[in-house]
Amino acid sequence: MQIEKMLSEHKLLKEFKYDLKPIEKGYSNRTLYINLSDNTIESKPVTQFMKDKFVGGKGFGLYKLWNAVKPDTKWDDPENEIIMAPGPVCGITQYPGSGKTLVVSISPLTDQVIDSNVGGYVGPFIKFSGWDAVEIQGKAERDVIVIIDGNDGTVRIEEAPLEAIDGHVLGEQLTEMYAKDEDDRRNIAVVTAGTAAENTLIGLLNFTFFDTRRKKARLKQAGRGGIGTVFRNKNVKGVVVRFAGTNGNMNNVDDISPINAAGIRIHKQIDKLDDQQCRMRQIGTANIVEVMDAYDLLPTHNYQYGSHKDTVKINSHTFIKNYLKQNTPDGCWYGCSLSCAKAADDFVLESGPYKGDKVLVDGPEYETAAGCGSNIGLFDAHAILELNFYCDTYGIDTISFGTLTAFLMECYERGIINKEITGGLELTFGNKWAAYDLIHQMSRGEGFGKIAGQGIKRMKVLFAEQYGADINFLNDIGMEQKGLEYSEYMSKESLAQQGGYGLTNKGPQHDEAWLIFMDMVNNQIPTFEDKAEALHYFPMFRTWFGLCGFCKLPWNDTTPESNATADEPAKMPEHVQNYINIFNGVTGLNIDGTELIRQSERVYNFQRIFNIRLGKGLRVHDATPYRSAGPVTKEEYLSREERYDGQLVELIGLDPTSMSLEEKIAETRKYRENQYEMLTDAVYKRRGWTMNGVPTIEKLKDLGIDLPELLEVVKKHL
Amino acid sequence: MIKVNNNDFPFEEELSISDILKAKKYMDHMIIVKVNDLFIRKEDYPTKRIKDGDDVKVIHLFGGG
Amino acid sequence: MKVLKVAIEKCISCGACEEKCSTLYKKENSKDKSCIHINPRNGGRLINVCNQCGRCIDVCQTQALKRDASGIVRIDPKRCVGCLICVGFCPTYSMRQHDDYLVPFKCISCGQCVKVCEQGALVL
């Protein structure tokens, strides 16, 4: 369809003009508020209080959301918001991974707050257009797009009936529609969801960046938690941001010298060492597929096993050799020399509405190769890329899709569900056509796909109620917690990672802590106190990135030479210093490593209390499915019999030779579940929370966030 | 007996770092090896001889996801 | 393509080339702002200047670096976003950067330094 035809059917609902002002030391000092129910568009100030307590990014998002919703607000109430907030550092160009944005909303999957970190050009362009956050509240009557033009100083809401909904089509359409000419396309960034986001709870947001070599819009994702579902529920098709004139100091930083120095230092490091380290420029995050398999940590067949003989068919070398041929690394924001974004060009789809098309597939990320690969028994590189493509364009999360499909396949193979229930889909491990059917059904909103798209938490209830399934067994093997599907790491043998998944704010997403190697392989955190310290430091450190607009990958997917002699190499001290120098260089503040953690702690505790206010956020919600902690079934126990028998002897003091298999499984389970409880105690104590997981008044006072509205919530539980 | 990452590991004569890595099925890149707190260069993995009672640390600098 | 070549054995580290380059292009006599660097080393010197290898073209994310009609690698300041990847990835460390400027700078084989070198150590 012609762009002109689509444009001709647009109906302008509201236009808002604003003054363009330069950014001051990383802050535009105002946020944009849009209400789609009544087409209000307003500018709101960023206060010093906000900057002091919440810094930016996720902090601003959470603060705005808290003030927008009530304790009983549901994800599909009009007052739920989607907030996109870049952070004060976002948009610098000298340091890799400095263009990230945090998106915040109430999640359809978890009914509590979800936050999601995403790349692409949208965030920086929002900032350059003059906004420290964009709030979208309300619901439009008919499908609309929002257009922010940061050179003209306008925000428009327009009805857009003819444009596509699927991400890869709409991204191109809107890029072409709003670019002034061909060269201007790199100044357009687009937010889309997709058709499956409308029919499932696992919808995501795509954020584009224009690839000037391939002349195509590329897609990065705010993947977790179903924010794309909220987006479509509000009848938003897309958000377009246009900004021309990006240069090396859009943020008008306080002192560019440390920023330049840090950038050049790490560019040199990546050039020299990436080839021998993670090979991010060659393959991106999928470099760890073969590593995880070698250490028996690759989630296989719904997290039952940790490796498989066919992993070679989906390892990084296979993808590079057969699909990722362009040999040109891509960063998702300027200045990213780590350039982890990969693409398969001219990929011919073999299923679905775009069958036969030659498309560009953005990926695969490790999560997709594992989630839509080994975890569902699909050791087929083409199939992984096909699912990757359709998840992106349909606007659904590859992690949730992979993990829930893995759950369904195990249920199917165990006879918990059958062909009648699935409407003919033979959901056995490795059956790619069944996986394809499932995803296309999600797009069309019909069939078993529609049920699957509700997520594991709701499916467990459904299977127990309607098909007489054993809810206890489903709770053991259904890898979700708080309603969010687990991401693709085996925490079974790492107590620290069980905590890294289970004791998070949003649900089992590994952005807070990834401790598997530190724990299991390096054995660097042997005691409960060591683990609790790690589960304090790393979540606080890692979530700081979301306050600023940083990407985590350049922190520890490239290793400086100084690490060889560093005291705590897992913390990457040289890089931590880079980040402190950059933050201070941008803002003119003078934080150190201690204040960095406190900045994060304020927002982290705020988020915990936000969840408590929504009726979640307590110890009971931090319980985990047993599959995440130990062998549920006989096959699982026997697959690691030597290790588990050894642990019965060394850790529990029992004699496996005198025990039946059932007894061994039961004793192992009792021990491990108790370990998790003890870990929870230690972590809550370290974080300054009660044994019910509630931040104490003392802790809030210490952080300077003993605000009346927060005390009101915690006091009910103290 | 020696220690590898604080776990007991059987000592043999002529035991090298490379031998230990192979026995534990550890990868040979993205790691830092220290013996009795002294950093060992990668070139020396095949030749550095471990003595009985040594404390070997194989730190994987593996950030993961 | 005329690339700046150095006969290092003739150089006496007088700094005239650095002064000429920085004064001409950055309006200041400052070694840090010169495209050619004479770096002292072990009582002698190393001369560092771009050899037009073009690796920076390959790593630039905005195609701000291109060869001109003579094959010399040139920066388009309108397309440059100041990411400094070219500075970090230059195999000879010859892409120059200074905090006073958002855009890096490099030798473009203009030959003005050749004219002021009284030792004949530079040739185009």
Cross-chain Cβ contact A267/C81 below 8 Å:
no
CATH code of the domain containing C49: 3.30.70.20
Cross-chain Cβ contact B65/A277 below 8 Å:
no
CA gap C47, C41 in Å, rounded: 10
Q: Tell the residue number behind the tokens 């976002």, with chain if given.
A: A90
- Tell me if chain A has a CB within 8 Å of the CB of B42: no
- Tell me if chain A has a CB within 8 Å of the CB of B40: no
Cross-chain Cβ contact B64/A523 below 8 Å:
no
Which helix (H) or strand (E) segment holds residue A546: the answer is helix A528-548
Question: What is the third-level CATH fold of A3-242?
Answer: Aldehyde Ferredoxin Oxidoreductase;  A, domain 1 (3.60.9)
Name the β-bridge partners of A24: A27
Contacts of B65 in chain A (CB under 8 A): 285, 288, 366-367, 487-489, 510, 514
Q: Tell me the pLDDT band of B54, cut-offs 50, 70 and 90.
A: very high
- Tell me if chain B has a CB within 8 Å of the CB of A402: no
Q: How many CB atoms lie within 10 A of CB C78?
A: 10
So what's the pLDDT on residue C2? 84
Is residue A1 predicted with pLDDT exceeding 80?
no
Q: Measured between CA atoms, how close is A691 to chain B, in angstroms?
A: 29
Q: Measured between CA atoms, how close is B50 to chain A, in angstroms?
A: 19
3-class SS of residue C37:
strand
Q: What share of chain C is helix, strand, coil (3-state, %, to 5)?
A: 25, 20, 55
Contacts of A285 in chain B (CB under 8 A): 65
Q: In the A/B pair of chains, how many CB contacts fall below 8 A?
A: 62
Q: DSSP secondary structure string, A444-462?
A: HT-HHHHHHTT-HHHHHHH
Q: How many CB atoms lie within 10 A of CB A359?
A: 21
Is residue A31 predicted with pLDDT exceeding 90?
yes
Nearest CA in chain B to A370: B65
At A458-508, the pLDDT tens digits run: 999 999 999 999 999 999 999 999 999 999 999 999 999 999 999 999 999
Of the CA atoms within 13 Å of residue A597, those in its CB half-sphere come to 13
Is residue A138 predicted with pLDDT exceeding 90?
yes
Number of domains in chain C: 1
Cross-chain Cβ contact A334/C88 below 8 Å:
no
Cross-chain Cβ contact B65/A366 below 8 Å:
yes
Cross-chain Cβ contact A277/B29 below 8 Å:
yes
Cross-chain Cβ contact B32/A294 below 8 Å:
no
CA gap B38, A254 in Å, rounded: 41
Subunits close to B (at least 3 CB pairs below 8 A):
A
CATH 1.10.599.10 fits A495-715, yes or no: yes
Nearest CA in chain A to C90: A268
CA gap A54, A64 in Å, rounded: 10
Cross-chain Cβ contact B65/A522 below 8 Å:
no
Contacts of B57 in chain A (CB under 8 A): 522
Cross-chain Cβ contact A335/C102 below 8 Å:
no
Token readout for A170 is 């709409």
Residues from A contacting C (CB-CB < 8 Å) are 93-94, 186, 212-213, 246-249, 256-257, 260, 263-268, 270-271, 331, 334-335, 337
At the fourth CATH level, the homologous superfamily of domain B2-60 is Beta-grasp domain (3.10.20.30)
Average pLDDT, stretch B7-13? 90
At A242-255, the pLDDT tens digits run: 999 999 999 999 99
Cross-chain Cβ contact A334/C80 below 8 Å:
no
So what's the pLDDT on residue B65? 65
Residues from C contacting A (CB-CB < 8 Å) are 59, 61-63, 80-85, 87-89, 97, 99, 102-103
Lowest model confidence (mean pLDDT) among A279-293, A673-687, C11-25, C77-91: A279-293
Q: DSSP secondary structure string, A106-125?
A: E-TTTSSEEEEEE-SSHHHH
Domain boundaries, chain B: 2-60
At A249-291, the pLDDT tens digits run: 999 999 999 999 999 999 999 999 999 899 999 888 988 999 9
Q: Tell me the pLDDT band of A567, cut-offs 50, 70 and 90.
A: confident
CA gap C58, B44 in Å, rounded: 36
Is residue A328 predicted with pLDDT exceeding 90?
no
Nearest CA in chain A to B63: A556
A271, A273, A333: best to mutate for the C interface, most C CBs within 10 A: A271
Contacts of B5 in chain A (CB under 8 A): 521-524
Instruction: Check if the beta carbon of residue A20 is closer than 8 Å to that of residue A153.
Output: yes
At A287-319, the pLDDT tens digits run: 899 999 999 999 999 999 999 999 999 999 999
CA gap A85, A32 in Å, rounded: 10
So what's the pLDDT on residue C47? 94
Q: Tell me the pLDDT band of A7, cut-offs 50, 70 and 90.
A: very high
Instruction: Check if the beta carbon of residue A313 is closer than 8 Å to that of residue A381.
Output: yes
User: A673-677 contacts: CB < 8 A, separation 24 or more?
Assistant: A673/A626, A673/A629, A673/A630, A675/A495, A676/A495, A676/A498, A676/A499, A676/A502, A676/A624, A676/A629
Q: Tell me the pLDDT band of A569, cut-offs 50, 70 and 90.
A: confident
User: A446-452 contacts: CB < 8 A, separation 24 or more?
Assistant: A447/A423, A448/A421, A448/A422, A448/A423, A449/A199, A449/A200, A450/A199, A450/A200, A452/A200, A452/A404, A452/A405, A452/A408
Any idea which architecture A256-485 has in CATH? Orthogonal Bundle (1.10)
Domain boundaries, chain A: 3-242, 256-485, 495-715
Q: Tell me the pLDDT band of C86, cut-offs 50, 70 and 90.
A: very high
Subunits close to A (at least 3 CB pairs below 8 A):
B, C
Q: Phi, psi (5° rounding) for residue C96? A: -90, 150
Q: What percent of chain A has pLDDT over 70?
A: 100
Average pLDDT, stretch A633-641? 96
So what's the pLDDT on residue A566? 86
Cross-chain Cβ contact A569/B60 below 8 Å:
no
